[in-house]
Amino acid sequence: MGTSQQEWIERAGAVLPAGGFGNFDPGIIIREGKGSRVWDEDGNEYIDYLIGSGPMMLGHGHAEVLDAVQEQLGKGMTFFANNARGIELAEEICRAVPCSEMVRYVSSGGEADMYAMRLARAFTGRDRIIKFEGGYHGMSAEAQMSLAPSRLANFPTAVPDSAGIPSSVRDEMLIAPFNDIEFVRSLIAEYQGKIAAIIVEPLQRIIPPQPGFLEALREECSNNGIVLIFDEIVTGFRFAYGGAQELYGVVPDVCTLGKVIGGGFPLAAIAGRADIMAHFDKSKVGADGFLMQLGTLSGNPVAAVAGLKTMEILRRPGAYEALRKSGETLMAAMTNALTKAGIDHRIVGDPTLFDVVFTANEVRDYRDVFAADAGINARFNAALRARGIFKSPGKVYPSLALTEEDIAQTVEAIEFAANELCREPVA
């Protein structure tokens, strides 16, 4: 007999704070994944809509990606030196992503966002950053300001989401409500000449930009010498091959990329205008303007070949149409089932990334999500898990590995979960 899931949970509790890696529910231990499905250590099978929090767009264990990785493994796993595969990947990113003239690699999206903000400060000589309440930009001190505050402060006051952050960091961050361009304009006017960057997820978690919002951010940044940073760690190569900036038609000065570009391996990047990216090159900007950045695994060739093959497959005809069709089917299933059950809800997001928010009100920003019914959300997700659906508490990530059988089983699970919400919860 193998080790049971409960035994693994107990072992994790002895060596891992809170019994986990800090990412996801530590009450489930994933044993393996194949295609659209994962299995836990007790052998329970799930259709996977978490997909590693986004990178596994092709599903788990895609044969072509595995072949590319296996070939590279025989040539070396990492070098801490330039390698051809990393150069090829940078070339493809520059071809695909509208804002990308040059690329600098890191190993995680949080690093990419941290360096992007530092880069904007180096380029402008200014210190303050505008961030939107509820926006996720990794784990740096700046990013951990008003990510998911349980205490709603008056804007633009930043609320630290973590212990251990100096108050001086809070003072450099200006917090605005997402989709409120007039408030952004008021901040720019009040802090004229002091704002280095606006960092924004083009789709904030799952909340879409209102028509004209991203365009207005672009205009304000251009008019005021502010660096516009799109955090496309999630949306890059998911919304479209060129990311959200291609889909929405708004080009930032700098963007951050991750998840898909590593094909399931640790890899992320900062990409942007050459004059801004020059601050990574001391010979171009001198010692005072130089932004030091290095990392042991940056540009790792195994991650690079996995990303290159993943991106090659995404370029094939029909890939994005198939991804969007799956998402649209699931969004419609949620709408139909919850409407029939008489449950107040909003389906929020893009067909490639979305979820249900249990509220009768329009969802425009973090506070609209914060005010929604978290209890019903937890019950809905628990019912889906009981019917073999594995997902984040607040996101559905469709993948290209989904089959018609998967979709049919998911629709059935959604109908079951909606009906469960009509029952009185057990005390």
Query: Choosing from 49, 105, 115, 136, which is the catalytic residue?
Result: 136
Question: Which residue among 46, 105, 131, 259 is the active-site one?
Answer: 259
Q: Which amino acid is at 105?
A: Y
Asked if residue 384 lies in contact with residue 414, where contact means CB atoms within 8 angstroms, the answer is yes
What is the per-residue pLDDT across 354-413, written as a single tens digit (0 to 9) for each? 999 999 999 999 999 999 999 999 999 999 999 999 999 999 999 999 999 999 999 999
Rg (CA), the chain: 22
Q: How far is CA 352 from CA 26, 231, 406, in A?
A: 26, 16, 16
Active site residue 284: no
Q: Quick check: is 259 catalytic?
A: yes
Q: How confident is the model at residue 425 (pLDDT cuts 50, 70, 90)?
A: low
Could you confirm whether 395 is annotated as catalytic? no
Strand partners, 207: 204
Return the DSSP state at 32: E
Domain 76-314 has CATH 3.40.640.10: yes
The predicted-structure confidence for 176-192, as pLDDT tens digits, reads as follows 999 999 999 999 999 99
The whole-chain average pLDDT of the chain stands at 96
What are the residue boundaries of the structural domains of the chain, listed by start? 5-62+317-420, 76-314
pTM to 2 decimals? 0.96
pLDDT in tens, 222-259: 999 999 999 999 999 999 999 999 999 999 999 999 99
Q: CA 397, 403, 406, 411: dihedral to nearest 10 degrees?
A: 80
Active-site choice (231, 253, 350, 355): 231
Q: What is the maximum span of the chain, computed from C-alpha positions, in angstroms?
A: 67
Instruction: Give the CATH number of domain 5-62+317-420; options: 3.90.700.10, 3.10.129.10, 3.90.1150.10, 3.20.20.60.
Output: 3.90.1150.10
